[in-house]
């Protein structure tokens, strides 16, 4: 059994290849576009969504079957066709090129897997079963969606802003650490969910008081 190392990857400006033009290929392409990748799609036919992206210049689309050499220069490759021979050929070329390769529904032909991911703004929670059961990963993700609602996107934006404010106004490292630790208390999350504007006002006032106390001390 393969053992995978979890990590988040910056694909901004990276050349990535998707071989296949069906719904799965569209979903994979969408997630890579969201990550800033330079996506190339190779397939004789594609979904309407992929076609629109091609027409808008969001992706580079080659309306033809895969051929050897398509993976050259690519950082990441996805094989999402219903043809075993094509998927294996893509896998072998990607391996030879040293690219990251994922053949959909074939964990034995992957050197990375794509987790089921919950996104709330800058918050991302990824669930992986290492390819053993993508269905279970999706089930767990749906359960997490109930615990981490849309309010977490707003909350995290506030945390980022307040963290910067603390770093700029508080000179004592220990005090900075204490303040940042308290910002993730449940009371702030509850306030942010019910009244984001009030949460911001109270956070700003609380940090200002801490800065004043530090100066006075």
136 and 155: one domain?
no
Is the pLDDT score of 217 beyond 70?
no
Q: How far apart are CA 163 and CA 171, in angstroms?
A: 13
**50's tokens:** 């992929």
Q: Are residues 104 and 201 in the same domain?
A: no
Position 2 pLDDT exceeds 90: no
| Residue 159: C-alpha distances to residues 16, 97, 149, 179, 180 (Å) | 33, 41, 16, 11, 8
Q: Could you tell me if 3 and 110 lie in one domain? A: yes
Residues 183 and 128 occupy one common structural domain: no
Alpha carbons 79 and 42: distance in angstroms, whole number: 10
Domain that holds residue 170: 151-215
Per-residue pLDDT tens digits for 28-40: 999 999 999 999 9
Are residues 183 and 95 located together in one domain of the fold?
no
CA 22, 28, 34 angle in degrees (round to 5)? Answer: 135
The token pair at 69 is 């050499």
The confidence score (pLDDT) of residue 4 equals 86
Number of domains in the chain: 3
Residue 95 shares a structural domain with residue 3: yes
Kindly state whether residues 2 and 55 are assigned to the same domain.
Answer: yes
Same domain, 82 and 179: no
Q: What are 119's two structure tokens? A: 């996104």
């Amino acid at each position: 059994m393969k053992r995978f190392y979890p990590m988040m990857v910056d694909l901004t400006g990276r050349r990535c290849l998707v071989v296949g033009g069906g719904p799965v290929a569209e979903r994979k392409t969408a997630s890579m576009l969201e990550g800033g990748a330079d996506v190339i799609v190779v397939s004789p036919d594609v979904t309407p969504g992929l076609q629109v992206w091609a027409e808008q210049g969001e992706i580079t689309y080659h309306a033809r079957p895969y051929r050897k050499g398509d993976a050259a220069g690519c950082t990441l490759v996805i094989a999402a066709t219903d043809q075993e021979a094509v998927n294996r050929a893509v896998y072998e070329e990607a391996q030879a090129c040293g690219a990251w390769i994922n053949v959909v529904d074939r964990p034995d032909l992957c050197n990375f897997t794509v987790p089921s991911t919950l996104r709330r703004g800058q918050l991302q929670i990824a669930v992986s079963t290492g390819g053993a059961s993508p269905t279970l990963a999706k089930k767990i993700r749906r359960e997490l969606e109930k615990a981490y609602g849309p309010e977490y996107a707003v909350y995290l934006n506030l945390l980022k802003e307040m963290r910067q404010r603390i770093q700029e106004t508080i000179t004592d490292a220990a005090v900075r650490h204490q303040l940042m630790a308290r910002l993730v208390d449940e009371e702030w999350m509850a306030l942010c969910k019910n009244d984001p504007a009030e949460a911001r006002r109270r956070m700003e006032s609380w940090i200002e008081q801490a800065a004043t106390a530090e100066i006075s001390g």
